[in-house]
Amino acid sequence: MSGSIQDTFFEECEELLEATDEGLSAIEGGDHDPEVVNAVFRAVHSIKGGAGAFGLDELVAFAHRFETVFDEVRANRMELDEPLIQLLLRSCDHLYNLVAVARDGGETDQAHHNMLIEALDKYIPEEEEDLTFEPMGLGGPMDVSAIDIPQAPTEETYQIHFRPLKDMYSTGNEPIFLFQALQEMGELTIVLDDSELPGFDGMDPEESYLSWNLTLVTTEARATVEAVFEFVEGLCELSIEGAGDADADAAALAALEAAFGGAPAAESPPIVEPAAMVEETPPAPFEQPAPAPTPEVKPDASGSKPAAPKAENSKTEQRGPNPTLRVDLERVDRLINAVGELIINHSMLAQQIANLDVADVRDVETELEGFKNLARDIQEGVMSIRAQPVKPLFQRMARIVREASSATGKSCKLVTEGENTEVDKTVIERLADPLTHILRNAVDHGIEKPEDREGTNKDKVGEIRLTASHRSGSVCIEVKDDGAGVNRPRVKQIAIEKGLIPENAELTDAEIDNLLFAPGFSTAKEVSNLSGRGVGMDVVKNAVTGLGGRINISSSPGKGSTFTIILPLTLAVMDGMVVSVADQTMVVPITSIVETMRGNDDMINNLGADGTLLSIRGSFVPICDVAGALGLEKKDDQPPGVYLLVETETGQRSALAVDDIHDQRQVVIKSLDGVCGEIAGVAAATILGDGKIAMILDPESILAASPAVGAFDTERRMSNAS
Amino acid sequence: MQAEVKSNDQEVKHAQFSEFVSFTVAGQAFCLKITQIREIRRWSPVTILPHAPSDVLGVMNLRGAVIPIYDLSARFGLETTEASERNVVIVVSSAGKPVGLLAESVSEIISINPEEIQETPPVDSRNTMEYIQGIISHDETMVRIINLDAVISVPEQVL
Amino acid sequence: MKTKVLAIDDSRTIRNLLAATLEEAGFEYVSAVDGREGVDMYDDVAPDVVITDINMPNLDGFGVIEELRGTDINSKVPILVLTTESAPEMKARARNAGATGWITKPFDDASLIFALKRVTGAAA
């Protein structure tokens, strides 16, 4: 079990190291934004925390130094000058090495290690160097087990006087729970002293009047008894006296007091035998097995020996209202993959049966149809395990809108609809960032200032409507504001200033609106602390297309804007058009195809030396030869037979030329991650009915890579402008 | 944590009489430790990866997994192989992920005493030095021991 | 009813460690990846005890304590902070903010359970 958690740790380390690296690079590039500094600090801190859990001492020690130096930077006590940045970058590289050594074994370059530690230590202020420094008397790195306490197997009787101060109650500490902990150590007698309780009239409900005198007979060491009161130290009057004050205890106390510099109570929890804890876990006969989130399936709720539940724990046997099962995501994904195979398997069978030279296969085909339906049912069922309602995501968005409103001095409310719409877990996770950005953008740029709104007969409070719904096999997320709408002249002006479009370009309203998604575009007149973080709507668009989705904006001046995100229900399967390109079978996502048509020579028009245009009902669209864009050689010189009309996000249409269309079907998406690097024009792969692999194409990136279409784009703008 | 992936030369040094599978690539004899090999399959046409370098033949379907197939001959800087049904794909594992290597044909399983392994004499070929970690003499022919890690480490960006 | 723990930590490793230990010991475990999510989830989850990390994006552990203590209805819920031993002053700050107790990272199963027992009375 801990093995798989350790795997998680190393995975997470990779991400954290990347974040550290990225942050340091940004700092090196002159970005000293506190949030960047904080992010680096947190990443290194998390590495340290995880490494500590697995006893990776060398890594902990180094990460600790890194973190300490960075904390100085974070608190503005130290300047991030060039030598320090270089040292931190080298230290980050060394962290990579230490993590690799911890994971894969091997040796650390000790000379390098020591050199960096020495260099880092120079930046660490004197008083920080003593890691065991204990300014508040509130728990230091004290390990009770490290102190040589003579064993006291004999029973000891402790007289404990405990009088909570008023402040203790405001920390959520309850005397009763402390007494329960003591009770488990031996025989406990509790005597309540309410003599200080005033009459009803004089009572301050906030004040603490009660105290207790406890007598505990136990074989536990004094330190263990004292540890029970660790959290309330300083929040109560406490005295613990051993009846005989045996020599052993006196020695232990002396050792403790020496270690704590006279502090009366032990800080670390006592070392309790884990087995003893397990026995107190009552068996849970009515509950679902709750396997730990690891690939290992445990048939039982825990490995614990069933023991008679103690009286105070019997309530835990009640059945919960909604029995649920926690399952490791990886296991669900394996199941999804297996079902995907089943579907592929079905199409292979179907194909082979169709190829059989048998007169009557109707019966087989009927059965096969049943098989297919069952496979689809299973697939849907498995997919639904991964599906989660968008409600928690929407709740987070409500807070984003509140924060953004108060930061911009606007008043807005978020209205949500369709909170119970279920979407794939990964989609929800990866939707959080783009949605946050869209909402901040809506508050910052969409909704007008309250005084402006009143002038236009609108409610002073702006409304942003966040809706989720299922729409023909897709999920639709809509963000609609009742603000001013896209300021098209302004957007166009900015686009011209930034060189995104020629000065004399003539664009449709939709084209102008879509400029918001162009890389490097930002409408903020002055950089506000909300949207001016260097993240543009292009990042939002990339995030959405990365999920296999599309994003659109529609806007009407004075009335508001609507962002519509269409996402696939799942990331595991999609509908595709099976085509052939240069003797290879490939798949084009149906969602990107507007229309398909067989071509003939009359429809093709040359433009310049290389460009060709397809004429469709009087209009011309540029042709992109898919084989050429993918760098594939065609065996014969025959012109492509079929055109797939696709539309890009800006509404521009192009025709993808392929050799032939075979079929339209659902395909299981197989990631090419780890198989090869990123391939321009290819999104993923799938396995077809004949067992062969086919590439799933990404039309947007094919068009981006195609010089012919790019050139046409400019020409058209220029000609429109003249 | 115990290191699971040891470097290959360590493995070779500490092993007593390890079994190797020998095969031919462009007429030369090579071998891999038997424990490095997951399975050997007959060649069947692969799906081409667009923009891939010449030593990456493409991908194939191995029981539902998409695995890349490399042309060992091209990788060693020898002539590219015109793959046919007579050829074999040796499936090895790289960091838990299967990878296929195209070879001309598999010869036999040979038992090698690690002490018989000789260091690769320096020759003026970077490819050779990089991909070969030692040589042995077997039945009077020279068999080259492949440094698997070097062979299957591909640059992240194929482009 | 099982004792329900809401654990707030941005480290997946720590969340997994907590989940493994707590579920093994029979606690009900719910987690959040940062302070903001933790506070947002609080009302829906209605935990018996909160364990929170200190250094987190969006809202740190002190912010979590302040927000939870800031509302009357949550003012008594036990809150344990996860601290590293190198930062003892964090414990003092956390207590001043209203934390009930602390768990020192790296923690072992026994000390984690012991800490929970002292603030909830429950072994599970």
Q: Produce one character per residue of A515-550: b if its CB has 16 or more CB atoms within 10 Å, e if not.
A: bbbbeebbbeeeeeebbeeebbbeebbebbbebbbb
pLDDT digits (tens, 9 = 90+) for A463-510: 999 999 887 667 889 999 999 888 888 888 888 888 888 888 888 888
pLDDT digits (tens, 9 = 90+) for A657-670: 898 888 887 777 77
What percentage of chain A reaches a pLDDT higher than 90? Answer: 5
pLDDT (0 to 100) of residue A563:
93
Under 8 Å between Cβ of A417 and A463: no
**Is the pLDDT confidence value at A420 over 60?**
yes
Closest approach of chain A CAs to the CA of B69, in angstroms?
A: 9
Cα separation, B50 vs C119, in Å, equals 61
Cβ contact B59–A685 (<8 Å): yes
pLDDT digits (tens, 9 = 90+) for A74-114: 877 888 888 888 888 888 888 888 888 888 887 878 888 88
Cβ under 8 Å to B: A residues 601-620: none
Closest approach of chain A CAs to the CA of B15, in angstroms?
A: 19
Residue numbers in A near C25 (CB within 8 A): 277-278, 281, 302
Residue type at A306 in one-letter notation: P
pLDDT (0 to 100) of residue B4:
45
Judged by 3 or more CB pairs under 8 A, whether C touches A is yes
Q: Which of A104, A676, A706 to mutate to test the interface with B (most CBs of B within 10 A)?
A: A676
pLDDT digits (tens, 9 = 90+) for A172-208: 888 888 888 888 888 888 887 777 776 666 666 667 7
Instruction: Could you list the beta-strand ranges (E) of A332-429.
Output: 387-389, 412-417, 422-424
Cβ contact A141–C12 (<8 Å): no
Cβ contact B49–A670 (<8 Å): no
Token pair for residue A253? 């106390």
Instruction: Could you list the beta-strand ranges (E) of A444-494.
Output: 462-471, 474-481
pLDDT (0 to 100) of residue A308:
39
pLDDT (0 to 100) of residue A694:
92
Q: Which of A347, A625, A675 to mutate to test the interface with B (most CBs of B within 10 A)?
A: A675
Cα separation, A9 vs A188, in Å, equals 43
Q: Which residue is it, tokens 């309410």?
A: A194
* A2-28 helix and A34-53 helix, angle to the nearest 10 degrees: 160
Q: Which helix (H) or strand (E) holds C96?
A: helix C88-97
**Is the pLDDT confidence value at A711 over 80?**
no
CA atoms within 13 A of residue A713's CA, in its CB half-sphere: 18
pLDDT (0 to 100) of residue C74:
58
Contacting subunits of C (3+ beta carbon pairs below 8 A): A
Domains of chain B: 8-151 (2.40.50.180)
In the DSSP assignment, the letter for residue B46 is: -
Residue numbers in B near A106 (CB within 8 A): 3
Closest approach of chain C CAs to the CA of A435, in angstroms?
A: 15
pLDDT digits (tens, 9 = 90+) for A38-67: 888 888 888 888 888 888 888 888 988 888
Q: What CATH number is attached to the domain comprising C62?
A: 3.40.50.2300
The answer for residues whose C-beta is within 8 angstroms of residue A43's C-beta and 6 or more apart is A16, A17, A19, A20, A23
pLDDT (0 to 100) of residue A272:
37
**More reliable by pLDDT, C55 or A255:** C55
Kind of pairing, strands A611-616 and A604-607? antiparallel
**Mean pLDDT of all residues belonging to chain A:** 74
> Least CA distance to C84: which residue of chain A?
A49
Collapsing DSSP to helix, strand or coil, A284 comes out as coil
**Is the pLDDT confidence value at A706 over 80?**
no
pLDDT (0 to 100) of residue C8:
92
**Is the pLDDT confidence value at A515 over 80?**
yes
Find the mean pLDDT for residues B54-69: 86
Cβ contact A318–C1 (<8 Å): yes
Cβ contact A695–B4 (<8 Å): no
pLDDT digits (tens, 9 = 90+) for C44-100: 888 889 999 888 888 888 888 888 887 765 567 889 988 876 566 777 787 778 888
Cβ contact A177–C107 (<8 Å): no
Q: Which residue is it, tokens 């990089």?
A: B130
Q: Which of C5, C8, C11 to mutate to test the interface with A (most CBs of A within 10 A)?
A: C11
* Total count of domains within chain C: 1
End-to-end CA distance of chain A: 70
Give Cα separations from C95 to A167, A559, C52 (angstroms): 10, 50, 13
> Least CA distance to C120: which residue of chain A?
A177
> Least CA distance to B67: which residue of chain A?
A675
> Least CA distance to B59: which residue of chain A?
A693
pLDDT (0 to 100) of residue A254:
54
Cβ contact B1–A691 (<8 Å): no
- This complex has an ipTM of 0.81
**More reliable by pLDDT, A295 or C124:** C124
Instruction: Give the burial class of A204: count Cβ atoms within 10 A of its Cβ; 0-12 exposed, 13-18 middle, 19 or more buried.
Output: exposed
Least confident of A442-451, A640-649, C59-68: A640-649
pLDDT (0 to 100) of residue A318:
39
pLDDT (0 to 100) of residue A611:
75
Q: Which of A524, A516, A517 is nearest to A544 (CA)?
A: A517
pLDDT (0 to 100) of residue B88:
92
**Is the pLDDT confidence value at B31 over 90?**
yes
Torsion of CA B9, B13, B17, B20, to 10 degrees: 10
Collapsing DSSP to helix, strand or coil, B5 comes out as coil
Which of A270, A293, A304 shows the shortest C-beta gap to C19?
A: A293
In the DSSP assignment, the letter for residue A150 is: P
pLDDT band for position B103 (cuts 50, 70, 90): very high
What are residue B19's DSSP bridge partners?
Answer: B111
Residue numbers in A near B46 (CB within 8 A): 693
Which of C26, C76, C115 shows the shortest C-beta gap to A269?
A: C115
Find the mean pLDDT for residues B15-32: 86
**Mean pLDDT of all residues belonging to chain B:** 80
Q: Which domain holds residue C28?
A: 4-120
Closest approach of chain A CAs to the CA of B141, in angstroms?
A: 35
Q: Which residue is it, tokens 């993923």?
A: A684
